[in-house]
Amino acid sequence: MPSWLFSLPALADFALLVLRLVIGLMFAMSGFFKLTNPERRQKMRASLQKAGVPIALTPILSSVELVGGVLVVLGLLTTVGALALLAVGLGALLTTGIPKAEGQGVHKLENVLYAPEAILAAGLLVLLAMGAGGWSVDALLR
């Protein structure tokens, strides 16, 4: 069988770049707007408070999103950035994503897996396992 049926290694660096840009920009923009937009900051505080998380963590979590997102976009210290974002994302999944998911058993699991936090966590795990790829600052520093 042709090898291209199983994977396309020539696309690996491009695919990792796209993954880094999508995830990194999403987190960086989210963190930036939570730090600079009072409405977004208040919305996050309300979410944290509802989940029983101290609202004093708002600027810290927002900063982690911003800095981690920039690191992932640049492909600079990608493992550090991805790990920090994974921690924030899993925290959000545990405190808001899972409790908001409707249904029982497999139906609840299906709704949890549809949560953006679950999808982002999967992408961040890929970056942790594969690294930033060849089109990154990490690759230049090796």
pLDDT band for position 4 (cuts 50, 70, 90): confident
Residue 51 corresponds to which tokens in the numbers above? 């989940």
Domain extent listing, the chain:
10-132
CB burial readout 68-97, b (16+ within 10 A) else e: bbbbbbbbbbbeebbebbbebbbbbbebbb
Give the predicted TM-score (pTM) of the model.
0.92
Interval 16-74: pLDDT, tens: 999 999 999 999 999 999 999 999 999 999 999 999 999 999 999 999 999 999 999 99
Provide the pLDDT for residue 61: 98
Residue 25 corresponds to which tokens in the numbers above? 């920009």
Angle (nearest 5°) at CA 101 between 22 and 94: 65
DSSP structure string for 28-44: HHHHHHHHH-HHHHHHH
Q: Are 80 and 89 in contact (CB under 8 A)?
A: no
Altogether, the residues listed in the chain come to a count of 142
Interval 122-131: pLDDT, tens: 999 999 999 9
Residue 138 corresponds to which tokens in the numbers above? 């990490």
Give the Cα separation of 44 and 23 in Å (integer).
19
* Mean of all residue pLDDT scores within the chain: 95
Interval 87-96: pLDDT, tens: 999 999 999 8
Please name which of 20, 13, 72, 65 lies closest in space to residue 41, comparing C-alpha atoms.
65
